[in-house]
Structure 1
């Protein structure tokens, strides 16, 4: 199995966990989102720390902290993924899981644009049409609902930039992700201190302090560590082995599962305007996928021909 195939499989596994994770966060919807985010950060750090300790690689974190350029990239990635986590948790709590799924549907096409702009990955006319269809879908929702789908757009952009930044960070996936949550941990600790001792409520406007109040909530909050860490490790592993376009292609598993959970399990409303926008997104992804697969077949054939030619004796 080559590295690219390993990357694709890792990406699919990560997206499956993310796609079903809304069911988990719905279980703790009574806990304010910033509190959930803080626990998610700290328990992820614990999980990552154990993984690196077992591997004998905790010392590699210091190498990142001493390298200003790498540390800067990891810090930016930490901000992007933290914002993405918060938006997803918040959308589940306020009953906008459909919008969250739309954001992850848009994300692959955002990745395409970011890859073209920052990494100079080429796009042909078919892929530009796919991006244009996604733009039409967002416009339809904006006009139909009266406001842009801000949650969807913010989720797509934060996750898109996270993938872009991670692709360029010169550090191993587990070590770099551990450093991300390490940088976020002081903020999470301060917030939980304020929640438990000062009664901070945050944007939810309600008190939480769930951890320690009962074993059920405490256990569920602790599970957020491995639930967050495992797919992030897989995503980081994959992002270094596949192109931005391939990352976008594999991401379809995530929003499809999210969409099914939102409509079938949460029974969220699916409006007429959503009924217009989602098929446009699906058509864009189908067009992009078909063109990507066609290009991959062409490249494979060219590689085979080049290999055959190279072995010819004259």
Structure 2
């Protein structure tokens, strides 16, 4: 919140934040709820040693976004998208059998971030102003939780050493700076390119979980991920082809 408020004040947008209407604050509140849920579940997945499952969530996020587009915006799926979603559904079934239960962390991450994207699509604000508003909405709940931790003896901010405290403080800019860069890149880079680049994050997460943390990856789990990769390959190839077909039409207009 402190970092984003500094950005807003540096841009001279403080008055715009104060003049935001009820509808804008409602949408910002929804966005704050979705992104806070996403971050909270991700943190839980990491500290509980389930980094590979968090990677799965971000892999299937584009496909969940497509389904939400169909349900909310009445968008139509191409044949390739239908096949991609069907293959992804088969992958979830395989992983459910492997885990012994549905991959709740992955599904929650995918759904919460997809809903966050939908909200950001309709909120009538500059992304930097929106992120600042989201942090303001979440701040009272976060502060209340920190106070409760302190009273209950669960706070580690001061008791675990200066290095630990610095890392916790650094979590703010480490979280916010990529969001700001993403918002800036979204205005300069084609959406298809953005979509492909977003696969880097879960790929790095999965590599960290498998190589560094050495999480268990039985053959059945590899099969589930392989199906996800096939679905994403179909989905991405279809997106690139449709984007290329759209360029001549735009130039002709």
Using structure 2 for the length normalisation, give the TM-score: 0.93
- Separation in 2, partners of 1:242, 1:159: 20
Contact 1:110 1:156 in 2 (8 A): yes
Unaligned runs of 5+ in 1: 1-44, 200-206, 308-314
**1:256 paired to 2:203:** yes
Once superposed, what is the RMSD of the aligned Cα atoms? 2.0
Q: Which of residues 169, 173, 176 in structure 2 aligns to 1:226?
A: 173
Match of 2:90 among 132, 136, 142: 136
2:230 aligned with 1:283, yes or no? yes
Asked whether the 8 Å contact 2:42–2:109 carries over to 1, the reply is: yes
Structure 1 residue corresponding to 2:148, chosen from 182, 185, 194: 194
Distance 1:251 1:157, change over 3 A: same
Which residue is equivalent to 2:212? 265
SS at match of 1:59: helix
Please state how far the C-alpha of 1:174 moved relative to its aligned partner.
0.7
In structure 1, the residue matched to 2:26 is 72
1:274 to 221, 231, 235: 221
3-state SS of 1:151 partner: helix
Alignment check: 8 A CA contact 2:4 2:176 kept: yes
Aligned to 2:81: 127
1:64-107: CA deviation from partner (whole Å, max 9, x where unpaired):
2xx11111111011000001001111111010000000000010
Structure 1's consecutive aligned runs of 4 or more residues displaced over 3 angstroms after TM superposition are 234-250
Contact preservation (8 Å) 2:192, 2:243: no
Give the whole-Å Cα distance in 2 for the aligned partners of 1:133 and 1:193.
Answer: 46
Residues of 1 paired with 2:133 and 2:247: CA distance?
37
> Which digits, 9 at most, give the CA deviation of each residue in 1:115-166, with x for residues without a partner?
2322333321011100111100001111232100000000000000000111
- Structure-2 residue corresponding to 1:58: 14
Residue 34 of structure 1 is matched in structure 2 by: none
Name the structure 1 match of 2:137. 183
Once the two structures are TM-superposed, the CA of residue 242 in structure 1 deviates from its matched residue by 8.3
Q: Which residue pairs with 1:112 in the alignment? A: 66
Task: Report 1:10-159 matches (<5 A).
Answer: 45-64=1-20, 67-159=21-113
- Any unmatched runs of 5+ in structure 2? none
Shift of the alpha carbon at 1:240?
A: 7.3
Question: Aligned equivalents of 2:65 and 2:187: distance in 1?
Answer: 14
> What's the counterpart of residue 17 of structure 1?
none
Secondary structure at the aligned position of 1:268 is classed as: coil
1:247 is displaced (CA, Å) by: 5.7
Distance 1:189 1:154, change over 3 A: same
User: What displacement does 1:248 show?
Assistant: 4.5
Distance 1:219 1:239 in 2: 31
Q: Which residue of 2 aligns with 1:303?
A: 250
Deviations 1:236-288 (A, max 9, x none): 45667889877644421111111111111211111222111001000000011
Structure 1 length as normaliser, TM-score? 0.76
